[in-house]
Amino acid sequence: MKGDARIEVPALERALAILNYISEQRSHAASVPELAAALKIPTSSAYRIVDVLLDKRLVTEDPGSGLLMLGPGCMALGYVARNFSPVARAAQPVLRDLARDTHHMAEIAVRVGPWRLMRLEQWRTENTPVSFRGREGQLIPLNHDNAHGLCFLSFSPARVIGEFRAAAADTRFQKFLMRYTPIPDDLAERCARFREQGYARSNEPNPETNVRVAVPLFDPHSSRSLVAATLAVACHADELSDAKAARWAKALHLRAKALAQIFVEQGIRLI
C-alpha cells in the first residue's frame, strides 16, 4: 500500500491509541474513564473497544484496582517482532564479539518513535553481573539521562538539542522524557565535547549504578549523517575510567562500521 492515500479506520485508530496510552503511563495502567477522557473517546466506545482488547488478551484487568494493563497478547507480539527483526539478527554476532572482547554487556538501541529508543538486542558474557538494568525490547527515553540518548543528541544536527528542549516542555512527552534530572543548561556544550571525543557516556555518582559508553551508527543508506542506532557497552560506574571508556569506544566504532556494512549488504534499513 506504499504510496496509496491513507485510509482511516476509527475503531482501529482508537484501539491503538488506547494501547499506546497505557504503555506511556508511569504505572503502565489506566482506567476506562481515564482513557476516554485523555483520548477524547466517548466512554461507551472506549468500553466496547476495551472489551475486544480484553478478549484478545492485548490488555488485562487488575483484579484489585480494575485498572487496565498491557496483556500477554502484547508481550507475545513484541517477542515475535524482536525475535524476527532483521536488525536484531544482524546485530547478534557483532554484539557477541563486542561482549567477548570487552568482557561486559553489549547492546544496540534503535529509534522507535518521537524521542523514544528501544534496547533492541543485548549480548551478555558469563561474567555479566545480573544486577545490570535493561532488557531487550525495553523502551528508554531519548534524553540526557542515558548514554544512548546522549549519543543521539550529540551526533545529530545541532538543532536537535533545541527540539529536545521543546519536546521536554510539551505535555505529550514530559512523562516519558523527564523522569529523572532536569536538562542541564550546558547540554549543548556537553554534547559538543562528546562529539569531539567520538563517544557519549552516562555519568552516575553511585558506583553501583550501571553506566554505558555509546557510539553512533549512522544510516549507511543515506548521504547525510543520520544517527540510525547506537552501540554501547555497559558496566558499573566504579569500573569505568576515562582510559577504559576510550578503549571501548574504539572497539565500538569498529563494530558499528562492520554492522553498517552488513546492513548495506543485506539491504536492512533502520530509518
Q: Three cell numbers at 166?
A: 521543546
- Distance, CA of 208 to CA of 156 (rounded, Å): 30
Residues 110 and 20 in one domain: no
Q: Quote the pLDDT of residue 64.
A: 85
Return the H-helix or E-strand segment holding 115.
Answer: none
Residues 15 and 66 in one domain: yes
Specify the number of domains making up the chain: 2
Q: Is 189 part of any domain? A: yes
Domain with 201, as residue range(s), is 85-266
Q: What are the distances in angstroms from CA 80 to CA 24, 77, 228, 239? A: 21, 5, 22, 35
Q: Quote the pLDDT of residue 129.
A: 61
Residues 114 and 233 in one domain: yes
Q: Is 4 part of any domain? A: no
Tell me, rounded to whole angstroms, the distance of Cα 204 from its chain centroid: 20
Do 26 and 69 form a contact (C-beta atoms < 8 A)? no
Q: What is the pTM of this model?
A: 0.80
Residues 133 and 242 in one domain: yes
Q: Is 191 part of any domain? A: yes
CB burial string 82-103: b at 16+ within 10 A, e below: beebebbebbeebbebbbebbe
Q: Quote the pLDDT of residue 112.
A: 85
Residues 44 and 91 in one domain: no
pLDDT in tens, the chain (271 residues): 455 556 678 889 999 999 988 887 766 788 999 999 999 999 999 999 999 999 999 999 988 888 999 999 988 888 888 778 899 999 999 999 999 988 889 999 998 878 889 899 999 877 666 556 667 888 888 899 899 999 999 999 999 999 999 988 887 777 777 666 788 899 999 999 999 999 999 876 555 578 899 999 998 887 677 898 999 998 888 888 899 999 999 999 999 999 999 998 998 887 6
Q: Quote the pLDDT of residue 20.
A: 86
Q: Quote the pLDDT of residue 60.
A: 94
Residues 110 and 222 in one domain: yes
Q: Is 136 part of any domain? A: yes
Instruction: Look at residues 76, 103, 132 and tell me which one is the last residue of a structural domain.
Output: 76
Residues 22 and 100 in one domain: no
Would you tell me how many other CB atoms lie within 10 Å of the CB of residue 266?
12
Q: Three cell numbers at 200?
A: 557519549
Residues 144 and 262 in one domain: yes
- Distance, CA of 200 to CA of 216 (rounded, Å): 9
Q: Is 240 part of any domain? A: yes
Backbone dihedral angles phi then psi of residue 237, each to the nearest 5 degrees: -55, -35
Residues 128 and 252 in one domain: yes
Burial class (CB in 10 A: 0-12, 13-18, 19+), 180: exposed
Q: Is 3 part of any domain? A: no
Backbone dihedral angles phi then psi of residue 101, each to the nearest 5 degrees: -75, -35
Q: What is the CATH number of the domain that holds 123?
A: 3.30.450.40
Instruction: Look at residues 56, 76, 96 and tell me which one is the last residue of a structural domain.
Output: 76
Q: Quote the pLDDT of residue 1.
A: 47
Residues 135 and 63 in one domain: no
Return the H-helix or E-strand segment holding 85.
Answer: none
Backbone dihedral angles phi then psi of residue 236, each to the nearest 5 degrees: -75, 150
Burial class (CB in 10 A: 0-12, 13-18, 19+), 119: buried
Residues 51 and 97 in one domain: no
Which of 153, 137, 230 is closest to 191 using CA atoms? 153
Instruction: Look at residues 19, 44, 76 and tell me which one is the last residue of a structural domain.
Output: 76
Q: Is 129 part of any domain? A: yes
Q: What is the CATH number of the domain that holds 32?
A: 1.10.10.10
Q: Is 5 part of any domain? A: no
Residues 146 and 250 in one domain: yes
